[in-house]
Structure formats: C-alpha cells, structure tokens
Structure 1
C-alpha cells in the first residue's frame, strides 16, 4: 500500500511517501509553525519531484500529537479532508511515538521518553519501550510538570539501566532526571517527529474519519477558545485547499 504520512505537531513539518515498508521520499523542514501555508505545497512538491502521481496514493497517516495546538489542527484537518474527498483509509500515530522510534538499536530493556517542551519545565511526555521488537507505549502520552512526572515515576524508572530522553533543547529536563536517577544511564538524543518511521507504528485505520480529533492532552477551555479564534482563518484556508 502506498501511503503519505504527515506530522505538524511541532515547529518541524515532516512528510513521507512509502510503499509498504519502503520509504520512497521524505521531507523534513523547520517551518516555525507556518504549517498552514506550507503543508499542501510541500506535499505537492514531494510528489512532483519523485514523479509520484496523486492517484497512486492509497492511504494516509497523520501524527495526532500531542504538541502544538495550531499545528495539530492544521495537519489533522488536512489529512481528514484528503481522506474523505478521496475515500482513503486514514491511520493515526502518536507524534511522540514518532520521536521514540527515532532511536536506532536501543539497548535491551531501556526506557524511551520523548519530550516536547511545553514551557516552564512542563512537557508533553511519552513513555515507551520495546517489547518483542515493537515499540510499545507503557502509558498514554500526557502533558505534565516534568519534575512532578519524574517524582511520581521514580520507583519505576530507577529499575532501568538506560533511559533515552528524546527531543529538542531538553538538557534542562535531562538535568532533573539525572539528579533524581543518579544510578541510571541517561542518554539524550535530539529528535522531532519524523514520518519516515510511521509505517512501523500504524495499526488499524480510523473507523470514522469525520469525528477524528487531535490528541491535545491537556488544553484549558480558555486556551482552546483563544486558539480556535486565532486559527479559524487557517482552518478556513485549509478546508478550501486540497492536494491536486
């Protein structure tokens, strides 16, 4: 099956085209959250540059977050519109899982913790490990104060010999983890959600694309109302724009 995968949960835009387990083309670009203006043109560019016809696309994959409220609205809206208009299956993946999957040859029985900075040392946090060769979520992705998360998970985390901390500009988070878990090897790796690993993570297609919503984790009502007003124009533009 030929799939287009996209993620707009961070300041990076990631798009990939793959046949089964073979990545045919990929694009990763720092857009500073300008996904509303670049997502569709970049998909069209990627398909054109690699002579991939739109009609050959048989399904879509979208990063569901958590992450940027603005970015997620744009990416998920675009994927839903495309899937509905072309009657394509749509698969969802965790954006944090995309980051966790970037670890190459992790040590056996290691924990993988992808992070996205949510300001003031709070973060979007994932907790993963590999079981029987597959990346598995130990618990659902969340949004929490990092210090509190480390304290509440201390007894579990101290049992690992190695913990991979994955993300961008996360040294302050790593310092807190090292202070709490001095006997554990903490390996910091720079990463953002890259869709060229998305095929490793997809399961069943979304049953009802129309009701699909991003995983915002914790967003207050005031934050959501403010963001919805601010991003309505972007959504309107996205609704009027399709990949051609």
Structure 2
C-alpha cells in the first residue's frame, strides 16, 4: 500500500509517501508562498525521488482543515482530482489532528494544537495519545484563546500547545494555565505529512465528488452573502 498525503491547509506545505510501515519520503516547507504554484511540482519531485509512479498509489490522504480557506481548498481539490483520476480511495483528516500527532506522540498529557484565526481567536481542539493511538478529547472548534485556556485548567494532566502561531497566543495561555501549560519545541510546530498518511491509512474512504473541506466557519464573504440573502 502506497499512500500519498497532502497538506496545504496553512503556511506549511507538506507532501508525504508512506509504503506500509515505511516512510518513503516527506517534503515540508513553511514559507509564505502560493501553494497552488508549488504543490504539483512538490508531489512530482517526491514521487520521482522515491521511484513511485502514479499508478502505484493506492490511497490519497488530505488535511481537510481547518486553516487558510484558500490553502485548504487547494489541497482538497488536488487530492479529489488525483483520487478520481487514479480511481483510488480518498480520506480526509483534521489539520489540527495532524499537528497534534506530529508533536505529542510521546507526551504524557493532553495536546492542544492551534492555528491563529485572528481577533484573539484560534482553531483548536484537544487530543491525547492512549495506548499509542491519538484520541479526540474535545472536538475541533473556533474559540477565543482567552476562553479556551481557562477551560483546560481543571484537567488532570498538563497540556501541550503546538503550532506555528503559538507565539501570538502564548502569553494568554501562560496567564491562564501557569505551569500546566507546556509548549512544543520549535522543530515540532510543522505538521508532518507522514503522520497525516499514518492517521488516514485505515480510515474509511470518502466519495471524491461529495467530499468537502472542514472550514469550521464560513469565509467572511460567504457569511455576508448569506446574511444579505436572509
């Protein structure tokens, strides 16, 4: 089984190739450049380097959001197109779940991955590794950091916060949780595409035609349009 994983949901762009239990290759960059220009060359490069032809792929796994609206759409569109063209299964995985898996596999506590959502808000959720498997403790959501951090104070273990946008919210988190707040190392803030492939490896496939991203909230333009239409 050769799985291609795709994550363009935020600034970090990730492409991975997983063959059974072996990571054949990973490509990760974290720069503010257009994913739509770089995604296909990145896929082609890693597949050429690993000697894998498109016909050998058996599944596509994509980070389905939340994150950047444009970024999420790019990755999901590419994944749907490849799955439909190659006639192979497609699976979507939460972008936050991928981030949690990338940093917290050996952390004895809870994991709160986060992406900045502006105006003091974050996309986040709460996860925990139990017997080697990542489980969801609190579903992904859009919430004010000032509300989220205090809500975790009653937990029985420390909370690991991870994400490239962490510096924007770290002070609020520290004030609310004190020593119970733990922060991932700088090398752990990029979601790993190999973890994405692993998470989606045994999950049910989805219909490429009906598969949609999980934005959690509508884009501002969409919200205003719906409001105008009552």
Relative to the length of structure 2, the TM-score reads: 0.88
Aligned to 1:102, the other structure's residue is in SS state: helix
How far did 1:102 drift?
1.4
Worse-matched range after superposition: 117-126 or 74-83: 117-126
- Kept in 1, the 8 Å contact 2:55–2:86? The answer is no
CA RMSD across the alignment: 2.0
How far did 1:149 drift?
2.1
Equivalent residue for 1:143? 142
* Gap change, CA 1:193 and 1:224, over 3 Å in 2: farther
| Pairs within 5 Å for 1:183-198 | 183-190=179-186, 191-198=189-196
* Gap change, CA 1:11 and 1:183, over 3 Å in 2: closer
Aligned to 1:201, the other structure's residue is in SS state: helix
Equivalent residue for 1:235? none
Aligned to 2:111, the other structure's residue is in SS state: strand
Task: In structure 1, list runs of 5 or more residues that go unmatched.
Answer: 227-244
Task: In structure 2, list runs of 5 or more residues that go unmatched.
Answer: 226-230
How far did 1:31 drift?
4.3
How far did 1:160 drift?
3.2
| Pairs within 5 Å for 1:1-244 | 1-103=1-103, 105-108=105-108, 110-151=109-150, 153-154=151-152, 157-190=153-186, 191-202=189-200, 203-220=202-219, 222-223=221-222
The separation in 2 between residues aligned to 1:22 and 1:217, in whole angstroms, is 33
CA deviations over 1:81-117 (Å, ceiling 9, x no partner):
1101111011111111111111255333x11000111
How far did 1:50 drift?
2.3
The separation in 1 between residues aligned to 2:224 and 2:79, in whole angstroms, is 23
* Gap change, CA 1:201 and 1:170, over 3 Å in 2: same
* Gap change, CA 1:225 and 1:196, over 3 Å in 2: farther
CA deviations over 1:36-85 (Å, ceiling 9, x no partner):
11111110111112222222111111001100100111110110011011
* Gap change, CA 1:143 and 1:82, over 3 Å in 2: same
The separation in 2 between residues aligned to 1:215 and 1:69, in whole angstroms, is 9
The separation in 1 between residues aligned to 2:34 and 2:223, in whole angstroms, is 19
Aligned to 1:217, the other structure's residue is in SS state: coil
Aligned to 2:190, the other structure's residue is in SS state: coil
